[in-house]
Amino acid sequence: MRSLFLSLLCLLPAVAGAQASAPAECVVPSKPGGAMDLTCKLAKKGLAQEGAAAALAPMRISYLPGGIGAVAWHSMASQRRRAEPNTLVAFSGGSLLNLAQGKFGNAKAGDVRWVAALGADYGMIAVRSDSPYKTLADLIAALRQHPDKVLIGVSGTIGSQDWLKMALVARHAGIDPKVLRFVALEGGGEVFTAMQADYVQVVSGDTSEATLNASANHARVLAVLSEKRLPGVLAGVPTAREQGVDVVWPIIRGVWMGPQVPEADYQRWVATFDRAMATPQFAEWRAQAGLYPFALTGPKLTAYVRKAVDEYARQATELGLMR
């Protein structure tokens, strides 16, 4: 028995070393094809070009959809994976909104370790490329006249950021959001697929997702919810403000880790993303992903997230959405 115990002790350093050098993983808390997927793919590129792949196997991307991020949060923050040193989880402003509204149970922003914000995104309203709605005004006119005949695809249910974006647009146009017909789906990729199948006629989503679909001529973006027009593929798309609807909706995108990840591993990832995001190559990849400059890591990101969650909670309370 004593010899067996000693043998097991001898194995412990090897097991610990194996865990520390385990392949990096980025968990997408939705189905493939949406902006969360883009976030992990951008993180993977950044990791590879930063040189960390020399110390770790290439990052793999996995998918853990469900509950608009709730399943991934529970798995990584509350179960056995909470201490994995090489596992990252994608998040967005929508994740923070869900936290603020209690959609992740009793979870709080301080329950995980916020690693890096990789870029910013904006809300947008899109239709099929062959849609009769050529402008935001066309869509608003249709919603005023026959709101029951226009199905709006959103990622998430009532109170999700996609729901809120469209509700705010409707309210600013003098339309009661309660008369709109929303179809709740899981992730931006699924929403655009539903629109291509004509299951929904409108998508309330994000510019990063729209960049992929607009460039492939699969969608027509009617309005971007940014302060001013965006560069790149969507440069010709007017803002909602330009069209008389004063709604702006920025979206942060980044990655977090489990709450029990050792400090040294957490700091290693923070430093890795600090270096990666400072390179011209990363800026190019970020633009290709339809994202815009926004880089925060470690404590600065943590402070930003906590402030954002508090602000979302205030807005949700005002709209009567708090549980």
Whole-angstrom distance, CA of residue 60 vs CA of residue 103:
28
pLDDT, mean of residues 283-310 = 93
Confidence band, pLDDT 50/70/90 cuts, at residue 218: confident
| CB proximity list for 37: less than 8 A, separation 6 or greater | 28, 30, 61, 63, 90, 187, 189
Whole-angstrom distance, CA of residue 132 vs CA of residue 311:
37
Query: Are 25-120+251-319 and 122-243 in the same CATH fold?
Result: yes
Task: Quote the CATH superfamily of domain 25-120+251-319.
Answer: Bordetella uptake gene, domain 1 (3.40.190.150)
Give the pLDDT of residue 54.
Answer: 45
| CB proximity list for 87: less than 8 A, separation 6 or greater | 24, 25, 26, 27, 76, 81, 257, 258
- Tracing tokens 């489990």 back to the chain, one arrives at 258
Give the pLDDT of residue 21.
Answer: 56
* Most confident stretch, 74-83, 156-165, 238-247, 311-320: 238-247
Give the pLDDT of residue 215.
Answer: 63
Whole-angstrom distance, CA of residue 86 vs CA of residue 266:
9
pLDDT, mean of residues 196-225 = 87
**CATH number for region 122-243:** 3.40.190.10
Among the ranges given (8-22, 24-38, 198-212, 268-282), the one the predictor scored with the smallest mean pLDDT: 8-22
Q: Would you list the domain boundaries of the chain?
A: 25-120+251-319, 122-243
Confidence band, pLDDT 50/70/90 cuts, at residue 5: very low
DSSP string, 208-219: HHHHHHHHTTSE
Give the pLDDT of residue 103.
Answer: 84
Read off the tokens for 222.
């009617």
Q: Is pLDDT above 90 for 223?
A: yes
Mean pLDDT, the chain, rounded, equals: 86
pLDDT in tens, 239-259: 999 999 999 998 999 999 999
Whole-angstrom distance, CA of residue 114 vs CA of residue 300:
9
Confidence band, pLDDT 50/70/90 cuts, at residue 14: very low
Taking the mean position of all CA atoms in its chain, how far away is CA 230?
A: 19
Give the pLDDT of residue 91.
Answer: 94
Whole-angstrom distance, CA of residue 27 vs CA of residue 36:
9
E strands in 129-178: 151-155
Give the pLDDT of residue 17.
Answer: 40
Whole-angstrom distance, CA of residue 121 vs CA of residue 115:
18
* Residue 164: strand, helix, or coil: helix
Read off the tokens for 2.
């004593």
Note the maximum CA span of the chain.
82
% of the chain beyond a pLDDT of 90? 54
What pTM, to 2 d.p., does this model score?
0.77
Whole-angstrom distance, CA of residue 289 vs CA of residue 199:
26
